[in-house]
Structure 1
C-alpha cells in the first residue's frame, strides 16, 4: 500500500510538491510568529538600551552625615567598606565616590546654596577653560559661566562656609553654620559631556530658579576632609562597562537590582539605593508586551488561511481523483484500504511540507531579522516550535476533512462528472465560522481589553467570514450573468462564468482568494496607519523639526533673543509651555509672528496666517519711559504702610525687571529710580502697590498723578487701565485713582496695568474651551481669555490644550518671571550655527529634541518592530493564495481539457474557446482582489481601533485611524499581480492543450 501511495505521489508529483509547499507555508507561519516574537523582543531590548539616557544606565548609593552626629565633620567622606558590602558580586560596573556639602559665600544672596562637590576622577571628564585642574588642599574648580557672571578668575580666592537651611524664613534661606574656609580657584571648567553616565543621577548641571546656576564648585577629597561641614551627602555611583547592560543579561540585571535594593535596606536606614536600570527594564517589558499583542493579530489569520488553503486544495485534488476512488470502492476494498488510498497521497505531501515548515519558518525569521535588524540576531530556540505540532495536526485534519465526501460517497456519487449541489443548504463549517466571527467580534467591541482570549481571533474570523459571505453572494450573480450570456450567444463568457459558478469548490476558492487579499490589505492598514501615527507623534508631539530647550530665562529675554536672530520669524519661534492646573488646561505660549512657518501643524486646523491675526490683534501703543530715569508722582492719604514698584521691560532688548521705588509716604511725592536697562527706553508693564508691616489687611487710596513717559500717560482715562480684583480704578482731576484692600503679604498686591494688550486674551483651543473663561499662564497668573479658534490639537501639547501669544501673556502676567523650561522651535531652514548664535544672545541650549530623533526612537519601539511581521504575513498570504490557485488550475486542467476539446471538436470557435480558457481564473482573481480590499477595510473598521499601534500608552494627539488609500490599493495590486500571473499562465497552458495540433 505504501509503495502504491508513493507511486501516486510520484505520478502527480507537481500537485504533491505544490501541496507540500502549501503545508510548509502553513507550518512555517505557525513557527514564524513565535520565532519573530523572540527576535522582536531582542530588537526592542537592544534598541531601548542603545537609546537609554545615562540616568537609566547607572546606579547610586547615597548616605548623608549630619554634623550634629559628627560635630567636627571628621567622618571620611568616602565609604568604601559600604560599597564593598553592597556591591559584592556585582560585576561589570565602574564605581566612583563623591561627596557634596551645601555652602554659602559665593553668591550674592543665600536663597540657594552653592554645591561644593568632590568627585572621583573628575579631571578626566571636564575641560579646563582657564587655569589648571585640582592638585592640592584648598583647590576648587569654578564653572566657566559662573566665573564670568561673578567676575572671579583662575588664581582668585573665595571663601565658602558650610550652610544649613533656615526653614523658618519666608522664603527659606541658607544660613552659614561653621567656620569659613578660604579656597583658591585653581581653574574654570566646562563638562565635556553633561549627559555622560559618569555624572550619575546627581543633576549637577541642571539649572533653574529653584536649583541654582547648574555649575557645582568642584574640589578634592582632602579639601572636604579639612573643612567643617554641616551635612555631607556621600555617594557611590556605578557606571556600566561596555556589554554589561546587554539584551542577553536582562534577567540577571533585574535580579541584581532587586538584591542591591534589599541589601541597602538591611545595611542602614539612612542608606538609599537608586538606579534608573529598573525603569529601563520596565520600559523594555512594556515594549515587549505591545509586540506580543500585535504579532498574533495577523499570525492567527495567516495560520487559518493556510489551513483553509490546504482544505481547499486537497478537496480539489480529491475531486480530480474521484474516478480512481470509484474503482477502489467498486472492488469492495475494506474501509481502511479505501481510507488510505484516498488520503495517503495528500497526507504524505502535507506531512513532508509540515516537517520542512518547521525549519523554513525559523530560517525565514532569521533572514528577515538579519536584513531588518543587523547585529541583533533572532536567537533561535525550541520555543519557536511550540505551535508547529498544532499547525501540522491542523493541516493534516484539514486534508482529511477535505476528502470526507470521497471517503463515504457511494460509487455512483464518485462517478458523477457534475455532482449535485444544493445551493439552498449552507455548509455547517461556513455557518460555524460566521457565528464565531459574530461572537468574537461582539466580545472585541464590548470588553475593555479586546486583545485577550478569543478576542485575538476576532480579526481572523471576521476576515474569513466576510470572505465566505462575499463568495456566497457573488457566485449566484456570476451564474446569472453566465446564463444570460449563453442565451445571447456569447459562448466564451458563458463557459467562463459557468466554470466559476457551478464547479464544486469554486466558491471556496473564491473565498480563499478574497481572504488572502484581505489579509494583505489588513496588514497594509496596520503598517501604514501605524507609520502615519508615528509620523504625527514625531512631528506634532515634538512641535517642530527641532526643539531646543535653553537655560531658564524670563520670557521677554527669550523673545528678544530669538527675535534678534530671526526678526521675521522665518525659522525660529520662542515657546513656553503652560502647565495649567485648577481646572485650567495646559497649553503653549508662542511668538505668533513665527506661527505661519515654524511649528508642525495638524490637519484640519485653521489657516496659520489667519490664526496669527486672531491671536495677536493690533494693540494700543504701549506706555513707555524714555530713559533710565524712572519717575512716578503719586498722592496717598493712607496711614497703612504701602510700597510702590513698577514692572518694566526694555525697548531695546536689554532685559526686564521689577523696579522697587520704596515706601509710599502720605501726601504728594515723586518716586524716582535709575534703571540701567531702560537707557534706550522701557515699556511699563504694570504698577504694583503692596502692603508692608505686620497688619492683616491694608486699605489704600492712591492717586497716580504723573509718569515720566515719552508722551503723557492717559491717567485721567480709567478705561485705558485695568487692575486686579482687589482694586477699583476711577478717574480723578489729578490722575488715576486706585482704591484697594489687600493683605500685608506682597503675594497679594494691587496691580495696575495699562490696557496695552487685548483683554480678555484671545486663545486658540483644542478639545474644549476653558470652562471658567480663564487660564493659568506660565507666570502662575490667572488671565481671562476669549476663545477665537478651535484646533484639532496644539503642537507639542495635545488634544486638550490652549494656544496663546507669548508676548501678550507675558505682559498680562505683570512682573518678569522666569520660564521653567523655555524652548526655541526651529524648522528645516534654521542655520547650522543656530546654537552658537543663541549663546551669543544669552540663550544657552541645555537639550535638543528633533522630530527625526523622535521618529527614529518610535521606529525602534515594540509596535513598530512587531509590525514588520504584518508585512511578512501579507507576503505569505499572497503566496498562499497563489499556491492554492496554481494547484486548483492544475487539478482542473485535465477535466477542462477534456470538456473544451470535445466542444472544439463539435465546432466551438477558437475565440470563445480562448475566452473560456484564458479569462476564467484571471477574472476570478480580479474580482477577488477587489472584494478582498473591501473586506480588509471592513475588518479594519471593526477591529483596527483596538490595536496598540502607538504603544500601550498612546499620546494625546490626533493620530490617523485609516491608512492612505494608495497604500491599501498598492497591497491589493501586489497580490493581484502575483495571482493574476498564475491564472494567466494556467489559462495559456489550458488553451495550448485544447487547440488541435
Structure 2
C-alpha cells in the first residue's frame, strides 16, 4: 500500500509539489513568528543601546569627600571613600568601572571669578589625543586642553603651579575663588584634545559640556595621575565611580542580570548611609527596551495567526481541489470493494506525505527566512536561531494534516454515483452555513474581548475577522456570478458566460475565492498597519519636535532670544524663536513662538487652518512699544499715600538690540513730586518699558493711594497723558482723565505679595491663542508664571512641538504681558532645512548659549529602532507569504481543472465556439476572480482595521501626546491593490495560457 501511495505521489508530482509548498508556507509562518520575535527582541535592545546617550548607558555613583585635613591624625577618614570601598558597588555584570576625582584649582587662570578643573580619571590616556608632548606618566605630570594651552601660551615641557581653591560667596557681591592649600609645581607633559567627547567612557560627569560662557577651554579638565591627586594639599573632593557597558553587555539575554546588578548597586549605595548618590538613566533605557519588546510581542502574533489560518485554508482548498480531480479514481476504488481504512489511506496518503515533506522543509525555511531577513534589516544583530522557534511547528503541521483530512472527508463519504458525475453538485448544505456562522460568532466574541484586553482571545480577533469576512464574501459570490453568467449568455457573450459558469458550477471556486479574499485582506491589513505606523513615526519626529531642527538654549531673556534670532536670520527664512512656558502637571502644554516666522519654519499639521491664517489670528496689529533710551533712567513721579504706608516701584526694561531684561529699582516713593533715577547699563542702546511693579513694604499691603508718572526720560508726553494705551492688573487701575502724566490709582495690595503691575498696552489682551484638544481655557500661566486671560482664536489638530492638548501663542506678545523680567529656561530656536551650518556659532555670538541640538531626522532614526517599527517588518514577510499562498492556490486550481476544461472547451470548439470566445473563457476566468477578490479583500481589511487596528501599539505602549493617524492613506491602499492585482492576475493569466495552448 505504501508503494502504491508513493507511486501516486510520483504520478502527480506537480500537484504534490504544490501541496508540499503550501504546507511549507504554513509551517514556515508558524516557525517564522517566534523566530522573528527572537530576532526582533535582539534588534530592539541593540537599537535602543545604539541610539542611547552616555547618560542612559552609564551608572554613576557620586560621593563628596570632606576635607581630610580636618580629621584627627591616625583616625579613619570621615565620609564615604569610593576609592577604598567602591568594590561594594561593582555588581553590574560585563560593565567596566572608572574611578575619578575632581576639585577646583587656581594658579594659571588670570582671574578669581572661576577656577580650573583639577581632575584624575582612570585610564584617561586611552581616550585622549595628544596634539603635543606626551600623556601622563610621572607623579608630577599634568596634561592641559589644547585650547587652554593656546590661550594661556603654555606648551609641553613648561612648569606650572596649582593649588586647591574654595568658592566664596560674599553677601551682596559676586562669588569668587580663593586659594586654600599649598601650591604644587607640575610639569605640563602635553596638550590634549578629545577625539570622541560623546564616548560612554566619559560618563555623566559633564567633562566636555558645550555652551560654557567661560574663555576657551576654561571649563575643560586638567588631568593628572592618581599619585598627583593624592599628593596635593587639598580639601573636599568630588569623587565618582562610573560604570559603562562592554560590547554586548546590554544584549537581550543579559538584561535580567543587569537589572539584578542595578539592585545590588542600589543596595550598596544605601549601605553607605548617606553621602553617596546614585545617578543613572539606565533604568529608563531598560524600560524602553521592555516596552518595545512587549509591543513587538503584541504586534507580530496578530498576522502570524492570520497567516497560519490562511495556510490552513489554502491546504484545505488544495486538497479539496486535488481530491475533486481524483473523483473517478476514488469511485473505482469504492466499486472494487476496498475497505474503509484502505479508502482513507488511498485518498489521504498522497496529501499526508506531501504535507509531512512540506512541514519538515517549512521548519528549516521559516528559520532561514528570518535569518536572511534579519541579516538584511538588522545587520550585526543576528537572528539567534534555536529550537525554541520550532515550538509551534508541530501545531502547524498537525493543523495542516487535520485540514487535509477534513477536505477529503466529504469525497470519501460521497456515493459512487455522485463521484462519477462530471459536473458535481455545488453544496449548499446547512452544515457549511452553520460552520461559517460559528466563525463569524467567534470573530465577534474576539472583537468584544479585544475591547477589554489586547491579550488572550483578543490576539486572534484580527485573524478571525479576516477569515469570517472572507467566508461571508465568498458565500455571496456564487449567486452573483450565476446571475452575471446567465445575463452574459442571454446577450450572446459566450466567452464571459463560460468563464462565469465555470466558477459557479465548480464547488472549489467558492473556496478559492474565500482564500484569495483572505490573502488580499491579510496583505491589505499589513499595508494599513505599516502605513499608519510610518505616518505616526513621521508625525512624532517632525510635529513632535516642532521643526526639522530644534536648538535648546540655556536660560535667557525673551527679548534677548527674539533679538538674537532676528539678528542671525533678519529675513525670517530659516529660524524662529520659541519658548515652552511653565505649566502645572496635567495642564495643557503652552508654546510661545515668534509667529511672524511660523509659516516658514514650523512643521505644520494638516486638516486645520494654515499657518498664515493662524499668524493673522495670533499676531494682530498692536500699539508700538514705549521706548526708554539712555543708560540713566529717570522717572518723574508724584505720590500721595497715607503716612506710614510705603510703596516701592520697579521698572522692567527690555534692551531693544538684545540682552536680558533689566530691573530698574526706583525704591520707596516719597509723598510729593520727586525724580527717581537709576543707572541701567543694558539700556545704553535703548530699551522698551515692559512693566511697572508697585509693591507695598513690610506690613503695608493694605494700602491705597495715587501716583502719577509725569515723565520717563524722553518718552513723549502724549503717551503718558493718555490712559487708553495703559493697562493695570488687580490691585489698582489707571486713573481716568489724568492731567500731566499717567495716573495710577492703587486700591489695595492685600493678597498680592508681588504687588500690582502696570503695562503699556502694546500687546492684545486677552492674549490670543490657538488650542488643540482643549475645550475651555480661560487662562494660561504666562512666562512669569502668573495667570493671564486668553482669547481662543482657533483650534488646531495638534500644536507643533507640544502635541495635544496644548496651546500656541505669540512669544513677543506673551512677553509684553509678563511681569518678571527674568531669564527663561525653556528657550529654543526652531530651524528648517535651510539653516546654515554655522547657525550655532552665529547664535552664540549674539548672546545665547546652545545646550542641545535636536534633529527630527535623529528622532525618526530612534523611532525606527523601537519595538513597533521593528515588529512591523514581520508584516512585510507576512504579505509576501500571503501573496505566495494565493498565487500557489491559483496555479493549483488551474492545474487540477486543466484536463477537464481542455476536454470541455475542445468539444465546444469543435462545435463552432469562436477563438475569441475561447480566449475569454480560458484567460478571463481566474483574473476576474482575482479582481473581485482584491476588491472584497480590501473591503474586509478595511473592516478589520476599523474593528481591531486601534489595538495595535504602533506608537509603543506609551504613545506621545500627538493625534497620530489612525487610518492608512488612500494612495497606499490603492498601490497595494494594484500590486496585488498585477501579481495574482499575472499568475492566473500564465496558468490560463497553458490551458489555452492545449485546446485544439
TM, length-normalised to structure 2: 0.90
Deviation at 1:321, TM superposition (A): 0.6
Any conservation in 2 of the 1:23–1:310 contact (CA below 8 Å)? Answer: yes
Give the match's secondary structure for 1:542.
coil
Deviation at 1:581, TM superposition (A): 2.1
Aligned mates of 1:102, 1:157 — CA distance in 2: 6
Aligned mates of 2:698, 2:880 — CA distance in 1: 80
Going from structure 1 to structure 2, the CA distance change for 1:125 and 1:549 (only over 3 Å counts) comes to farther
Structure 1 gaps, min length 5:
149-153
Per-residue deviation, residues 337-383 of structure 1 (Å, max 9, x unmatched):
11100111111111111111000111111111111121111111111
Going from structure 1 to structure 2, the CA distance change for 1:505 and 1:88 (only over 3 Å counts) comes to closer
Any conservation in 2 of the 1:620–1:756 contact (CA below 8 Å)? Answer: yes
User: Paired residue for 1:768?
Assistant: 774
Going from structure 1 to structure 2, the CA distance change for 1:753 and 1:72 (only over 3 Å counts) comes to farther
User: Paired residue for 1:672?
Assistant: 677
Q: Does 1:363 align with 2:364?
A: no
Q: Does 1:892 align with 2:897?
A: yes
Going from structure 1 to structure 2, the CA distance change for 1:189 and 1:422 (only over 3 Å counts) comes to closer
Going from structure 1 to structure 2, the CA distance change for 1:770 and 1:341 (only over 3 Å counts) comes to same
User: Paired residue for 2:155?
Assistant: none
Q: Does 1:519 align with 2:519?
A: no
User: Paired residue for 1:405?
Assistant: 410
Q: 1:342-491 alignment to 2 at 5 Å? A: 342-423=347-428, 425=430, 427=432, 428-444=434-450, 446-447=451-452, 449-450=453-454, 452-491=455-494
User: Paired residue for 1:646?
Assistant: 651
Going from structure 1 to structure 2, the CA distance change for 1:794 and 1:631 (only over 3 Å counts) comes to same
Q: Does 1:613 align with 2:616?
A: yes
Going from structure 1 to structure 2, the CA distance change for 1:971 and 1:912 (only over 3 Å counts) comes to same
Identify the match of residue 811 of structure 1 among 811, 816, 820.
Answer: 816
Give the match's secondary structure for 1:959.
coil
User: Paired residue for 1:151?
Assistant: none
User: Paired residue for 1:45?
Assistant: 45
Going from structure 1 to structure 2, the CA distance change for 1:226 and 1:176 (only over 3 Å counts) comes to farther
User: Paired residue for 2:33?
Assistant: 33
| Greater Cα shift, 216-225 or 248-257 | 216-225
User: Paired residue for 1:750?
Assistant: 756
Going from structure 1 to structure 2, the CA distance change for 1:414 and 1:603 (only over 3 Å counts) comes to same
Per-residue deviation, residues 531-576 of structure 1 (Å, max 9, x unmatched):
1111111110011111111222111111111100111210000111
| Greater Cα shift, 25-34 or 432-441 | 432-441
Aligned mates of 2:232, 2:826 — CA distance in 1: 38
Any conservation in 1 of the 2:654–2:687 contact (CA below 8 Å)? Answer: yes
Identify the match of residue 539 of structure 1 among 515, 537, 542.
Answer: 542
User: Paired residue for 2:54?
Assistant: 54
User: Paired residue for 1:858?
Assistant: 863
How many correspondences in the alignment? 975
Give the match's secondary structure for 1:161.
strand
Q: Does 1:837 align with 2:842?
A: yes
| Greater Cα shift, 732-741 or 312-321 | 732-741
Per-residue deviation, residues 131-179 of structure 1 (Å, max 9, x unmatched):
999999999999989x99xxxxx98999943679x9xx9x9x9999999
Any conservation in 2 of the 1:58–1:238 contact (CA below 8 Å)? Answer: yes
Any conservation in 1 of the 2:661–2:822 contact (CA below 8 Å)? Answer: no
Q: Does 1:120 align with 2:105?
A: no
Deviation at 1:641, TM superposition (A): 2.9
- Provide the alpha-carbon RMSD of the alignment: 3.8
User: Paired residue for 1:507?
Assistant: 510
Deviation at 1:975, TM superposition (A): 2.2
Deviation at 1:249, TM superposition (A): 3.4
Identify the match of residue 931 of structure 1 among 913, 921, 936.
Answer: 936
Any conservation in 1 of the 2:5–2:346 contact (CA below 8 Å)? Answer: yes
Deviation at 1:783, TM superposition (A): 1.6
Aligned mates of 2:589, 2:131 — CA distance in 1: 41
User: Paired residue for 2:320?
Assistant: 315
Any conservation in 1 of the 2:331–2:416 contact (CA below 8 Å)? Answer: yes
Deviation at 1:911, TM superposition (A): 3.0
Aligned mates of 1:760, 1:131 — CA distance in 2: 65
Give the match's secondary structure for 1:595.
helix
Structure 2 gaps, min length 5:
152-158
Identify the match of residue 578 of structure 1 among 562, 577, 581.
Answer: 581
Identify the match of residue 293 of structure 2 among 284, 288, 295.
Answer: 288
Per-residue deviation, residues 435-471 of structure 1 (Å, max 9, x unmatched):
2112212222x31x22x11111111111111111111
Deviation at 1:577, TM superposition (A): 0.6
Going from structure 1 to structure 2, the CA distance change for 1:346 and 1:190 (only over 3 Å counts) comes to closer
Aligned mates of 1:131, 1:645 — CA distance in 2: 57
Going from structure 1 to structure 2, the CA distance change for 1:699 and 1:180 (only over 3 Å counts) comes to farther
Deviation at 1:940, TM superposition (A): 1.2
| Greater Cα shift, 954-963 or 703-712 | 703-712
User: Paired residue for 2:156?
Assistant: none
Give the match's secondary structure for 2:22.
helix
Q: 1:302-341 alignment to 2 at 5 Å? A: 302-341=307-346
Per-residue deviation, residues 303-354 of structure 1 (Å, max 9, x unmatched):
0000000001101111111111111111111111111001111111111111
Per-residue deviation, residues 9-40 of structure 1 (Å, max 9, x unmatched):
11111101111111111111111111111111
Going from structure 1 to structure 2, the CA distance change for 1:561 and 1:486 (only over 3 Å counts) comes to same
Give the match's secondary structure for 2:789.
strand
Aligned mates of 1:769, 1:319 — CA distance in 2: 65
User: Paired residue for 1:691?
Assistant: 696
Going from structure 1 to structure 2, the CA distance change for 1:569 and 1:214 (only over 3 Å counts) comes to farther
Deviation at 1:476, TM superposition (A): 0.4
Going from structure 1 to structure 2, the CA distance change for 1:205 and 1:715 (only over 3 Å counts) comes to farther
Going from structure 1 to structure 2, the CA distance change for 1:200 and 1:985 (only over 3 Å counts) comes to closer
Going from structure 1 to structure 2, the CA distance change for 1:316 and 1:88 (only over 3 Å counts) comes to closer
Aligned mates of 1:608, 1:644 — CA distance in 2: 41
